[in-house]
Structure 1
Amino acid sequence: MSPTEFRALLARLTAQLAGRPLDDSLDAWLNAEHGAGSATYRELKAACEAGVAAGWLCDREGGGIRYGRIFKPADDLHGFSVDVVDMCDIAGPHHVHPEGEIDLILPLDGAARFDGRPAGWLVCPPGSAHRPTVSGGRALVLYLLPAGRIEFTRQ
């Protein structure tokens, strides 16, 4: 898996997300259509694991979290940016999602959870905020941010 192949895989997914409100119905749809156990989930998990192993994903580290923005918002990604983090039993920095956030939770340890959620998708609506937390082990989390917008706070 190369960054170019990863981008193409994500572009196929973001085409299905373009123009949809980031809300509970999108969360339910993503988990039903592309959730843990689906072909999309397996492909994205394998791609993220390969990218981390090859060093082109999560190529930065700070505060015990490996992270990196692999793609800035672009037309082929339907306006989403793409970040991937590698976290193990840690809370990240508090932030606000001005336009929402779509997270794909990829546990590397079977019991790992992200903000209390198991493997699968979590959709955070516009204006929501959190301190992203992985508990119960290690997980990769893929973030799709509309227009790449995120605002870190001092909480």
Structure 2
Amino acid sequence: MSPTEFRSRIAQLTAQLAGRPLDTTLDTWLNAEHGAGSPTYQQLKDACQAGVAEGWLCNREGGGIRYGRIFKPADDLHGFSVDVVDMQDIAGPHHTHPNGEIDLIMPLEGEAQFDGRPAGWLVCPPGSAHRPTVSNGRALVLYLLPEGRIDFTR
């Protein structure tokens, strides 16, 4: 897996997300069409694990969290940026999502959950805020941010 191949896989997904509201309808659709156990989910999880192992994903560390923005928002990604974090039984820094956030939760160890959700997708609507938390194990979480917008709380 290369970053170029990874980008292509993400672009195929974001093409299906372009222009859709970030809401519970999208959350339900993503989990039904691309949720845990689906080919899309497994391909993205395998790609993220390969990227971490090869060092081009989650190549920074701070506060016990490995993280990194692999792609800035771009036309081929339909305006989304792409970040991946590697977290184990930890809460990250509080932030808001001015334009919303789409998260792919990929447990690696234990019965890991992200913000109380198991493997699959979590859609946070525009204006939402949280302290991203992985509990009950270790997980990779892929973040799709419209226009790359995220505001960390001071």
Q: d(CA) in 2 for partners of 1:6 and 1:136?
A: 28
AA aligned opposite 1:123? V
Counterpart AA for 1:122: L
Q: Compute the displacement of 1:110 (Å).
A: 4.1
Counterpart residue number, 1:90? 90
Paired residue type of 1:115: D
Distance change >3 Å, CA 110–CA 33, structure 1 → 2: farther
Question: What TM-score, normalized to structure 1?
Answer: 0.99
Per-residue CA shift, 1:70-120, capped at 9, x if unaligned? 000000000000000000000000000000000000000140000000000
Whether 1:109 and 2:109 are equivalent positions in the alignment is yes
User: Which residue does the alignment assign to 1:120?
Assistant: 120
Displacement after TM superposition at 1:4 (Å): 0.1
Is residue 2:22 matched to residue 1:19? no
Taking the TM superposition and a 5 Å limit, the aligned residue runs for 1:125-144 are 125-144=125-144
Q: What residue is the counterpart of 2:64 in the other structure?
A: 64
Asked whether 1:3 is paired with 2:3, we answer: yes
Mapped partners of 2:29, 2:77: distance in 1: 19
Q: CA RMSD in A?
A: 0.4
Q: Percent identity?
A: 84
State the alpha-carbon separation in 1 of the partners of residues 66 and 42 from structure 2: 21
- Which residue identity is paired with 2:5? E
Q: What code does the residue aligned with 2:68 have?
A: G
Corresponding residue for 2:40? 40
Q: Secondary structure at the match of 2:10?
A: helix
| Bigger shift: residues 88-97 or 102-111 | 102-111
Q: Deviations over 1:22-78 (max 9, x none)?
A: 000000000000000000000000000000000000000000000000000000000
User: For 1:11 and 1:99, how far apart are their aligned partners in 2?
Assistant: 19
3-state DSSP of counterpart to 1:12: helix
